[in-house]
Amino acid sequence: MAFNGASSYTATVSPAATETFSNPLLASSISSLSSPMTARHSSSSISKTYRQASTLFLTRRLPEALSTLQPLIAPPPPPDGDTQVAEPAPVAAASRTTRVKVWSLYLTILNAVVELEAQDGKDAFGAHEWRNLCAKVRDGDVWEEVVRNGYHGSEGSVDSDVVINL
């Protein structure tokens, strides 16, 4: 542990350090801390990410809100060299209430992006990305994204509250 001068402490653990722990539970915990976040999100981590994105949205930090929410609504990339279909997005496995909240926030963020003045949108996202986001909304690609990533490709499974928000 090291003191960083701002009244907080940080700890750095290397993966090799887990081999020195004789307690398997402790070694497993340390290993999970040092590994990158897995594609599986627990309900609490989905809710935490949703709250973070919601706060960013409410403070009009649209690019940060969108990038915070993105890992929940996009399927994780397949492992290198794997040709199988990737796992579904984490939001697909969430409870109905959480799934509706996440998709509703995503749609609200996209709506706010589209409503930005051109120069504000370009300043916030960059000209290319802002145009892509606007085109995705205007062309109806958002519906396909929601169905594919959140409902395993089944249009009939989309929650009615999400359909209303679309």
pLDDT tens per residue across span 51-90: 999 999 999 999 999 999 999 999 887 777 666 666 788 9
Least confident of 47-51, 53-57, 112-116, 158-162: 158-162
The sign of the torsion formed by the CA atoms of 125, 131, 132, 136 equals positive
CA 160 to CA 157: how far, in whole Å? 9
Look-up: residue for tokens 């609504």?
73
39, containing H or E segment? none
Asked whether the beta carbons of 147 and 153 are under 8 A apart, the reply is yes
CA 56 to CA 34: how far, in whole Å? 27
Q: What is the DSSP letter of 5?
A: S
Q: Kindly report the pTM of this predicted structure.
A: 0.71
Instruction: State residue 83's pLDDT score.
Output: 60
| Mean pLDDT for all residues in the chain | 76
153 conformational bin, left if phi > 0, alpha if psi -120 to 50, beta if neither: left
